[in-house]
Amino acid sequence: KNYKFAIDQSAIVDTTNSKGVILTVNDNFCQISKYNREDLIGQNHRIVNSGFHSTVFFKQMWHTILSGNVWKGEIKNKAKDGSFYWVYTTIIPFLDENQKVFQFLTIRFDITEEKNAEDALKISNDRYNLVGKATSDAIFDLDVDKNTIEWVGEGLGSIMGFESLIDKKPTNTHLKDFVHPDDLLRVMKKQVSVMMNPEEYLWNDEFRFKNAGGGYLQVHARGIIIKDQAGNGIRVIGSIQDITKQRENEIKLQELNRDLADQTKALALSNEELEQFAYVASHDLQEPLRMVTSFMAQLEKKYGDVIDEKGKRYIEYAVDGAKRMRQIILDLLDYSRVGKMDDQKEDVDLNELLKGIQILFRKQMEDKKAMLRITPMPVVHSFVAPLQQVFQNLISNALKFSKPNVPAMVSIGSEDLCEYWKFSISDNGIGMETDDLENIFIIFKQLNTKEEFPGSGIGLAVTKKIIEKQGGKIWVESQLDHGSTFYFILPK
């Protein structure tokens, strides 16, 4: 009676006949299965079968107990409400005088919590293993006391060549076996510092890591420190990332940046020298040209009565050539100075700026019977002189390339594009072939003869350079005999 009482209080107990039909159950059986006694008596254990175990599992169990042997094992059962529970089961067969089984006594202990914890641990470990397989980093588990790597993921093999160490538990491999000797002291000091600080739980460092071939990789290691109740680090779980290529690329980038800085410095010096040369050359070249022009004028004045018409024509050619050369020199000097903004940006009212340009072109507009139509223009924040030069060059071109005996019409407009201002200068002039639209911005490039339209071919090149120096863009749309529209945008 005492034994029965003790077992009933601590275990789940039932008895069955040799066919497995339930004869008796204790209160613990009813409590865990959620069936009352009347539901269970006369039934077999299929009433609590969860479907988890295979037919082979039960066949082997029955074979054991019908042979008169005790069977022990873990069984997952299903309660009346559909919930599952695990029991550690011992089945004891009772034999009659003929050594035949006539009854079974089954004693079970509830191990559901242990099994759930085991399943949770298995899921956690499976995830841990999958992370190790999925990432190219080398996942590791470091025992702090021994300072040995207890577990490593596949990254240690795929990246660093240590396939032989993967999944060995423990590896009995010391951290110092991998870290470069010159880095080891620093790495260990930093690790110990984090370990000793009760507020620190994250460790990360960068060092050289020896691969299987004996060479060293540059790696970035990071880990979570697991501490005991006293705040002492006992394990580090983390990853090692190969950043060798990244560091090599950074070094190459630094070298390229240094080269670029040297080239930029050399280019700035070259530009400064070129600008100085352009200034000196323009000054020195203008003087002899002035002399040519002056002496030709004196020659015509003093000896005009003895020079025939052909000689006078030669003098006219020489003077005109000298004037053209002087203008080219002045234009080249302007082109070389574009981008050197000595003034400060300021708010420029384009309506007022264009009024001034209209006054400048009054005589030319009267000769061409030109009409200039300007829509209300914005106030922009820019450099005054270069901006005036842009509009002046484009308006001058529109008047210059007008059709003979046709009143010139020039329209100027603007459009707000959020981050940019877009401007347009349209005319009804001679227009251009589509193939020539890009060439007109090339310095010295002229589409027409100097006899038809005098000029140096520098004006649009200067305009383009000014706009691009301020972060803008210029382009043209045109059809032959149907005029042209120049567009340009400038950042606000």
Fold of 2-110: Beta-Lactamase (3.30.450)
Q: What is the mean pLDDT of residues 285-303?
A: 80
Q: CB-side exposure of 36: number of CA atoms within 13 Å?
A: 1
| Cβ atoms of residues 392 and 359 within 8 Å | no
Kindly state the tokens that stand for 253. 């980038």
Q: How many CB atoms lie within 10 A of CB 419?
A: 8
pLDDT tens digits for 77-112?
999 999 999 999 999 999 999 999 999 999 999 999
- Using CA atoms, how far residue 227 sits from 143, 222, 224, 235, 451, in Å, is 11, 16, 10, 7, 92
Indicate if the pLDDT at residue 330 is higher than 90.
no
Question: What pLDDT is stored for residue 341 in this prediction?
Answer: 57
How far apart CA 223 and CA 220 sit, in angstroms, is 10
pLDDT tens digits for 422-480?
999 999 998 888 877 878 888 766 665 555 555 556 788 889 988 998 899 999 999 88
| Cβ atoms of residues 422 and 487 within 8 Å | yes
| Cβ atoms of residues 379 and 463 within 8 Å | no
Fold of 346-491: Heat Shock Protein 90 (3.30.565)
Better-predicted residue by pLDDT, 162 or 241? 241
How far apart CA 311 and CA 318 sit, in angstroms, is 11
Question: What pLDDT is stored for residue 171 in this prediction?
Answer: 47
Same fold, 2-110 and 129-242: yes
Alpha helix positions (H), 304-360:
309-337, 350-360
Instruction: Give strand pairing partners of 78.
Output: 84
CA angle (238, 241, 244) in 5-degree steps:
155
Question: What pLDDT is stored for residue 374 in this prediction?
Answer: 94
pTM for the model stands at 0.42
Question: What pLDDT is stored for residue 139 in this prediction?
Answer: 76
Task: Return the domain boundaries, the chain.
Answer: 2-110, 129-242, 250-337, 346-491
pLDDT tens digits for 142-198?
777 776 666 666 666 556 665 544 444 444 456 677 889 999 999 888 888 888 888
Question: What pLDDT is stored for residue 213 in this prediction?
Answer: 78
pLDDT confidence band for 278 (50 / 70 / 90): low
Cβ neighbors of 468 (< 8 A, separation 6 or more) are 474
CATH class entry, domain 129-242: alpha beta
Q: How many CB atoms lie within 10 A of CB 483?
A: 23
